[in-house]
Chains A and B, each alone.
Chain A
Amino acid sequence: MELRVRETMIGVAGASLGTAVLLLVPAQVPGATIAAIGDMRSPAFFPVLAAIIVLAGATGIVLAQRRAEPPAAEAMPTRPWAAMAAVIAGGTAVPFLGIYAGLLVAMLGIGVVLRTRPLAFAITTAVSLSAVHLLFARTLRVVFPDPTLPLPSWWPH
C-alpha cells in the first residue's frame, strides 16, 4: 500500500477513535459531557483531554502527508497474522482445555509459523511447560482456571 495512503488511513483511524471517545463520554461516564474539558474535577476531564490529543495527533499525521513524497512501501506480510491467530487460539483454548493445553496450542501455532525444527520444538515445549508448572504452579502457587470441558482426570490443568 502506498505510504501516503497508509499514513492517511492511520490519521483517519486515529480521528475516528478520538471522535468515538468524545461521543461515548456521556454514555460511559455517568453524569458528564464533553463540556467536562472545562472542569478539571470531573471524571470525564481526562478522557476528553486524551481524546482531543488523539485527534490532534491524527490531524497532524494527515497534514504531514500533504508535504511528504511517497517513497515505496513494502507490502505487509501475512505470516504475523498467522502467528497472532495462533496466540489467540491458544488464549481461547485456555478456559476450555486448561492452561497447559492452551499454551500448547499457542506454541504449536508459533512453531509452525516460524518453522521451528521438530527436535528444537519438542525441547522448547518440554522446557516451557515444565517451567510453567514448577515455577508458576508449584513455587508461586498461582491458581490456573479449571477447564470447563469434561476432561479425563489425568488431563493436566
Chain B
Amino acid sequence: MQSIDARTAEITNLLRAWRGGDEGALALLTGHVYAELRVMARRCLKNEAQGNTLQATALVHEVYIRLVDVTSVEWQARGQFFAIAAQMMRRILVDAARKRGSRRRDGVPLKVNLDEAALLSPVAERSILALDDALTTFSQMAPRQAKVVELRYFGGLTEEEIEAALSISPRTIRRDWDFAKSWLMRELDHTTGKSPGRQL
C-alpha cells in the first residue's frame, strides 16, 4: 500500500478520535489545521503575483488532502474537517486584520504587494473585524445559521459541502444564509454606518 507519512497518520487519527467523541483531540487537530492553512496560504500568496487567485475552497481542499489519509476515514469526516478548516480560516483572517490594524496605529510601515499599493485603505481590516464581532453575537442566538456563514463566507464551501459538514438540508442552508445575511447586514449598517462597513 502507499506510504503515508507519520504526520498524516497522526492527524488522521486525531480526526477519527474526535469524531469518536474525544474532545481533546479537537484542540490538537485544530492546531494542525491552523498551522497548515497558514503555511499553505503563504505559499499560495507567493504564487499570487503570477496570477493565481487565492481561493479559500482550494486551500481547504488542499489542506485536507495533505493532512488526512482519505482512504482510512469515513466519508462524513471530510465535511467535519472542512468545518474546522473554515473556522480556522476565519481565525487567520481576523488575526491578520487585528495585527494590521494595530500596526497601522503604531505607525509601523505596512508592506504591501506593489500591485496592491492602491488598496492601502483600512477598509478591509475594519470590515472583517466588524463582521467577526457581529457574527459572534449572532451565533449566540443562532449558532447553526452563524456556522453556515462561517463555512460559506470564510471557508468558501459549497452548498453540498456545507450539507455534509452540518448534516442539514440544502433548503435549510439557503434559508439560514438568507436570514443571516439580512441580520448581519443590519448589524453592520448600525455599527459602522452604511456602505463603507459593508464592503464585504
A associates with B: no
